[in-house]
Amino acid sequence: PWRDNVLIFTLDGGGDGICATVCIGNDGKFKRIAQTKTGNSIGNLYSRTTYLLGMKPWEHEWKVSGLAPYAPEEGTKKAYQVFKKFLTLPDDSLTFQNLTNVRSHDFYPLLRKRLEGIRFDMICGGVQRITEELITKWIKNAIKKTGNHKIVLGGGVFMNVKVNLAISKLKEVENMFVFPSCGDESLAIGAAYYVYKEKTQNKIPPLQEIYFGTEYSGEEIELSVSDEFEIEYHKDIEKVIGDLVADNEIVANFQGRMEWGARALGNRSILADPSDRDNIKKLNLMIKHRDWFMPYSPSILDIDADKYIENPKQIRAPYMIMAFDTKSKNIDDMIAAVHPYDLTARPQILEKEWNPRYYKIIERFRKRTGRGVILNTSFNLHGDPIVCSPQDAIYTFKKSDLKYLAMGNYLVIK
């Protein structure tokens, strides 16, 4: 979103021998001022901790960050003291250093030995704390060195929305942009941008909406629906969906082009009333089977964002890649779509021009309830990818206990 005097940070497990970089961006050109070798990787420290906890590394790190707030302070401190002895960032430095005698991808045996006897939630709290501490110090050091206060973040470690929340609170940060779904999948977009720039020399416009996937016709949708379901055509399907959710029904929504990346942003989503705590249990029983400690997230109309989240710097948050503290006055409006323990939220702040049909659904819900916020979770079975095609949608609908599926202008009913 910014062309000049911007600080660019990348941070991931590793690639090409490097796990972290700091660059200055001017007029679309980058000047690298620091880098960290893969052997000193925060991403590796976090992934090995994920594995230690019996979860899948490079996939379940979000569960570790989701569990971290439940840990008692004393236990978090105990685990944190262990993690402090793995990686550090010297004062004024932009390069992470390894305090052990093994490379970061080989941390697992040391972690298992040193963390023995420390409870699982405390381990989550400790690794989250050291990660936030090292990264915020890194960013403050770079701002101090360069004088640039607008930052751009990319790389899989920045999928950690609590890290991004901690960064957003730094007084040194004027504004920030986190690339959506910023793991390795984003390399495809970077490669396309690079080739486009090389071939045309045109300035690349800032990234906006990311509905880059396939769209299906009404005929294709009709052909995918079997006779076992009732199907209705509605010219104003958005009104129907908004009304169903306002009546506390749960609706799978399959519309337009699929979202690119890890987050469902309204077009391949399951929608519910976020004011009803029971909808967490209903969703888990119907389809999601999510771990008890993991939160759902809200989609909020941009006109109501200030009503629900603390965002004094007015950081744009359209991609569900940022977490925010919430406003206690209106928390009951979306209590089922915030973290159950610390009441933070990972919202999609929706702008009308980015997705008019989805915006219209929430507008209708708002007209009925007075609340411009809806619970939005990805349309998939637990462990499966987000649905892509009408056939995927019908298969998932069949396998779940969902009652309503909106596809294009059709409402499919069990």
What is the rounded average pLDDT of the residues 296-300? 99
Which residue, chain included where needed, has tokens 């890649």? 321
CA distances to 359, 407, 409 from 217, rounded to whole Å, are 21, 10, 10
Residue in 332, 365, 372, 331 with CA at minimum distance from that of residue 350: 372
The whole-model pTM stands at: 0.96
- Average pLDDT of the residues of the chain: 97
Whether the Cβ atoms of residue 156 and residue 318 lie closer than 8 Å to each other? no
3-class SS at 127? Answer: helix
**Looking at the predicted structure, is the pLDDT value of residue 112 above 90?**
yes
3-class SS at 25? Answer: strand
pLDDT tens-digit readout, 121-170: 999 999 999 999 999 999 999 999 999 999 999 999 999 999 999 999 99
111 exposed, middle or buried (CB, 10 Å; 0-12, 13-18, 19+)? buried
**Which residue has better confidence, 15 or 281?**
281
Domains for the chain: give ranges and CATH numbers: 6-200 (3.30.420.40), 218-413 (3.90.870.20)
**The two structure tokens encoding residue 43:** 């991403």
**The two structure tokens encoding residue 393:** 């949608």
Residue in 408, 365, 406 with CA at minimum distance from that of residue 247: 365
What is the rounded average pLDDT of the residues 376-402? 97
| pLDDT at residue 29 in the model | 87
| pLDDT at residue 15 in the model | 87
Q: How confident is the model at residue 88 (pLDDT cuts 50, 70, 90)?
A: very high
Percent of the chain with pLDDT over 90: 93
pLDDT tens-digit readout, 195-251: 998 999 888 888 999 999 999 999 999 999 988 899 999 999 999 999 999 999 999
d(CA 9, CA 16): 16
d(CA 89, CA 96): 5
